[in-house]
């Protein structure tokens, strides 16, 4: 009975060790991202290692995206983050696998980058109407591909916002903006020709 108790205790301790090791292992901040492609604009995303050491970065296709390791030290040896940029010469859609290898342990972490064209944009806010002299309102633009997947970031894309008074009666408060608007694919196609503003 004493030997069985010892075996059970050792088994529990080994299991606990592996659970702690797995939970404490390094992870990539976002394992899969969807980035938009523009003919004349780079969109960036930064992959970061959480709970990790020093890493070297590689990718499966350098014709679709560019990768730039971001170094933590002044000698350029230790990296826990890398910025990826969609290449202007790529033709969407495309998929690139990003690999981060720990220089000390050889552990490999993987991230996937999907590249596609924007099919639609949507403006998000907490209110549908904004009146003069009210508290400020934050507006956010989100983009979707042709199957409805949301793009991870629009970093580097500039938008021109216009505000107009759409109130029409003298005794109405002036309505200066309406949100919750969806911009059609026709309007998005103008992004390709006009480029960033």
Confidence of residue 24 (pLDDT cuts 50, 70, 90): low
Residues 111-165 have pLDDT tens digits of 999 999 999 988 887 776 666 677 777 778 899 999 999 999 888 787 777 766 6
Q: List own/partner pairs for 92-96 with CB under 8 A and 24 or more apart.
A: 92/37, 92/116, 92/117, 93/117, 94/61, 94/64, 95/64, 96/59, 96/60, 96/61, 96/64, 96/65
Confidence of residue 170 (pLDDT cuts 50, 70, 90): low
33 vs 77: which has the higher pLDDT: 33
Is the pTM higher than 0.85? no
Structural domains of the chain, with CATH: 26-116 (2.60.40.10), 120-194 (no CATH)
Percent of the residues in the chain that have a pLDDT greater than 90, as a whole number: 19
pLDDT at 187 over 50: no
Identify the top-confidence range among 19-23, 72-76, 158-162: 158-162
């Amino acid at each position: 009975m004493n030997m069985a108790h010892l075996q059970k205790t050792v088994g529990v301790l080994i299991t606990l060790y592996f659970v702690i090791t797995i939970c404490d292992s390094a992870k990539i901040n976002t394992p899969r991202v969807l980035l938009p492609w523009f003919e004349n604009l780079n969109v960036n995303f930064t992959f970061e290692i959480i709970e990790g050491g020093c890493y070297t970065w590689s990718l499966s296709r350098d014709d679709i995206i560019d990768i730039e390791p971001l170094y933590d030290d002044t000698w350029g040896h230790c990296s826990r983050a890398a910025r990826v940029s969609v290449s202007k010469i790529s033709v969407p859609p495309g998929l690139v696998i990003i690999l981060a290898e720990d220089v000390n342990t050889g552990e490999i972490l993987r991230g996937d980058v999907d590249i596609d064209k924007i099919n639609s944009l949507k403006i998000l806010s907490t209110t549908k109407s904004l009146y003069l002299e009210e508290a400020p309102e934050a507006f956010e633009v989100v983009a979707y591909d042709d199957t409805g997947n949301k793009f991870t970031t629009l970093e580097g894309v500039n938008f021109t916002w216009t505000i107009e008074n759409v109130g029409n009666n003298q005794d109405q408060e002036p309505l200066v903006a309406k949100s919750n608007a969806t911009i059609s694919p026709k309007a998005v196609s103008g992004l390709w020709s006009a480029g960033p503003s």
